[in-house]
Amino acid sequence: MPNQGAVTAITAKRLTLALCAAGVVGGAVGALAVNHNNVAAETAAAAAAAPAPAASVAPAPSVAPAPAATVTLPDFTRIAATNGKAVVNIRVVGGIKTGNRADVPSLPRNHPLYEFFRQFQDPRFGGGGGREAPVFGAGSGFIVSPDGVILTNAHVVKGADEVTVKLQDRREFRAKVLGSDARTDVAVLKIDAKNLPVAPLGKSRNLAPGEWVLAIGSPYGLESTVTAGVVSATGRNLSDGQVPFIQTDVAINPGNSGGPLFNTRGEVVGINSQIYSQTGGYQGLAFSIPIDVAVKIKDQIIATGKVQHAKLGVSVQEIGQDFADSFGLESPDGALIASVERGSPAERAGLKSGDIVRRINGQPIVSSLDLSSNIALSKPGEKVALDVWRDGKLVRIDATLGDANEKGRRAPQEELASNSDNSARLGLALRPLEPIERRQSGIASGLVIEDASGAAAIAGVEPGDVLISVNGRPVNTVGQVRDVVAKASKSVALLIQRGSDKIFIPVRIG
């Protein structure tokens, strides 16, 4: 948490700026009034000295200054008073095994103190292993149906033996965990109650950076705490691409987890989940799960008691300007497929390394997260239509998604002929794979990078990497590399095998 001095200094600075602005405006108005008085006096003197006009002329009407524009702030009090009734406090009790106490000696049964220690349930004297020690936790949640269905974070109730929900009217209920999903960090609870206040749900996909938002929760156990801020960004990828997080500057602290994020219409648009902090407290970077994601998880849990996630069976990378230049794209949008699992839905559909997914079911793919989250939030068996950029043109590929719990393996590369030479324009010294290297590494084709300098070294290519393709074209001879590079104008995309990983590296050659 920031120290009080820092907060005070910032506040004082803002007040000073506000007062300075007011002073400037007042000074300008005063000067304008003095000028009007001078003009009036000079006009009167001139009129007295001049001959009377033949006809009187009406004075020009004075022009009133334009009114200042007014800015209306959202009514947070209405949201807090009305929809805040659906926000709940969650207390959790769990148990963990405790180890043997190191400060107690091991004693034989005939020792005079054996019975004393046994009465204190030390596991070495009563048998049966370690004891359960209670662990307490707390968080927030919100009611989404009048019969007691509650949304919160999965990490709030993880490992819980008892979950207690406290309502705004101070009533408390024992809650049942209907289900939770660690991938999206969403959990669904149920309490035995009726006619409860409900938090209305909005659409998180309609959020825009700069929009006002409001959080209600129980930071550090302080129930019904209201904090506000703006949406800083949407579609943030924090971990494995399962959730496109909403980033805000709303003050979120431990205990806020699972609480609602409201828009100015009083609709829930997110579940407060994580913060970025070097101190453990609020530092201006808070992240919320989009309510669109949470509702999909909730519906699956209520219907089946579990959550299924789909998979396509590819690893993807971001498209930068270098990649866009390499693949002939007008803009750096899309998800670049780095590798395809053997036997996966992607392989069955015909997807290949070097393909760039530009749309899924007609929706644009701007970043790799758009593809990953869209697939992860689909169900196994669903069909998707992919618009893929391949060899300089768009092709349509239909795929039937698999189950994310199924494991796949990478497809081997096709066997190609090999030669020896180097590619000076890239700064690479290349040689073909030896038969023993192919057997040991499992790489069927490609060129070993013996040395990297110049543009390749700057891009991050390392000696020992294996070059598999250039701009999506498989290569096994330096001649093939040279042919592709000769046709490139600004940069090329190298598919590199490094250890067990395949990655695309853009190399500028212009």
Shortest CA distance to 394 belongs to which of 350, 358, 348? 358
**Which of 140, 180, 181, 185 is flagged as catalytic?**
185
Q: Is 111 a known active-site residue?
A: no
Distance CA 261, CA 272 (A): 6
3-state secondary structure of 328: coil
Does the annotation mark 423 as catalytic? no
CA distance 359 to 166: 45
The C-alpha atoms of residue 290 and residue 61 are separated, in whole angstroms, by 57
Distance, in Å, from the CA atom of 406 to the CA atom of 344, rounded to the nearest integer, reads 9
| Catalytic residue (one of 140, 180, 257, 372) | 257
- Secondary structure of 474-502 in HEC code, one letter for each residue: ECCCHHHHHHHHHHCCCEEEEEEEECCEE
> Which of 310, 308, 305, 309 is closest to 188 using CA atoms?
305
Alpha helical stretches, state H, 228-335: 291-304, 321-327
Closest C-alpha among 274, 186, 287, 187 to residue 229: 287
Interior CA angle at 75 toward 74 and 79, to 5°?
Answer: 115
Is residue 309 among the annotated active site residues?
no
- In DSSP terms, 493 is beta-bridged to 506
Q: Where are the alpha helices (DSSP H) in 113-195?
A: 114-119, 123-126, 154-157
Catalytic residue among 122, 155, 224, 249: 155
Angle at 281 between CA 275 and CA 286, to 5 degrees: 25
Q: How far is 242 from 311, CA to CA, in rounded Å?
A: 11
Active site residues: 155, 185, 257
